[in-house]
Structure 1
Amino acid sequence: MIIRNITHSDNLAIKTIIQDALKSRGFDLPGTAYFDPQLADLTSYYAATPNAAYWVLELDGEVIGGVGIAPWQDGICELQKLYLKDSAQGHGYSNLLMKTALAYAATHYETCYLETLKELDVACRLYEKFGFTLLDQPLPGSEHTAMDAWYLLTFK
């Protein structure tokens, strides 16, 4: 198992993992990552964005998940697109991806923000385990209008 930066050859695999995960839970809706315009080419999106990165988790030569960090506002980044194949869930891989993303974020930002759905209770527990605090409302500028849970983690 390795965690590495995304490459162009990973784009389709990650797009499929994200869209399959959302669709299987009935979240293939406008206002979710399912329709993000950069989803087809995450490599170029993250490469072109300063202080941003996306990592994939590869197991036995197969991409099984990923996570990203990108700027939100001054001093604040956003944890983005943490997804695993359904078959890869329950093995601690999300913890490894979170550690990778947050270690990077802590060197570039003061605070990390994320948006999710309350219904994804396993994900919400993961975020809280890593020290994220649930907010009452989204930070200004949110494009994912279908989200109903917003979290913040301060590094400093």
Structure 2
Amino acid sequence: MPEFGAVGDGFAINDPEVDWMQRAYTAPRSAYFVVERDGVVVGGGGLAPLAGGDGDTCELRKMYFLPEARGLGAGAAIIDRCLLAARDFAFRRCYLETLRGMDAAIRLYERRGFTRLAAPLGDTGHGGCNAFYLRDLGGPPA
């Protein structure tokens, strides 16, 4: 995140959850997936119920990739895996927050069906984010 200027209060990098990821993502309706390259974790992303949101909306969270993992399709694969899990958990919508200027990530989110919102949803605590997206997941899984 510091690579993109996301430092200080209001950014996920200062989120205590980063220090206890296993506890956060073993909670109900939550999951975290990683990408390995040559036995080394080079990125990942997860989902969990949107804090302060309704029970039908999850949040795509903690999408981090090292530079060597970018441009290989890893981000798309993680998003697709998270959306599959979101449907399995019976979420109807998926929300995310990011930063303007993270152009490659924004293009990826938009290619994956996320549309920009004018204002944030829920209460994520990431007040430093300034771009908000939502994707409809369709009805409950068949």
User: Is the TM value for this pair above 0.5?
Assistant: yes
CA distance in 2, matches of 1:28, 1:137: 21
2:89 maps to 1:111: no
Who is 2:109 aligned against? 127
Who is 2:45 aligned against? 67
Percent sequence identity is 38
Unaligned runs of 5+ in 2: none
How many residues of Structure 1 are paired with residues of Structure 2 in the alignment?
134
Aligned AA (2:56): G
Who is 1:93 aligned against? 74
Query: RMSD between aligned alpha carbons?
Result: 1.0
* Shift, 1:68, TM fit: 0.4
* Shift, 1:122, TM fit: 0.8
Local SS of the residue matching 1:139: coil
* Shift, 1:53, TM fit: 0.5
CA distance in 2, matches of 1:140, 1:38: 17
**Which one scores higher on RCO, CA 8 angstroms, separation ≥ 6?**
2
Who is 1:16 aligned against? none
CA distance in 1, matches of 2:122, 2:18: 22
Who is 1:27 aligned against? 6
Who is 2:62 aligned against? 81
2:15 maps to 1:36: yes
CA distance in 2, matches of 1:120, 1:106: 26
| CA offsets 1:87-131 (integer angstroms, 9 cap, x no match) | 211111111111111111122200000000111011111111010
Runs of 4+ off more than 2 Å: none
CA distance in 2, matches of 1:76, 1:68: 14
Aligned AA (1:32): F
Who is 1:137 aligned against? 119
145-154 vs 86-95, greater mean Cα deviation = 86-95
CA distance in 2, matches of 1:26, 1:151: 20
2:32 maps to 1:54: yes
Aligned AA (1:128): E
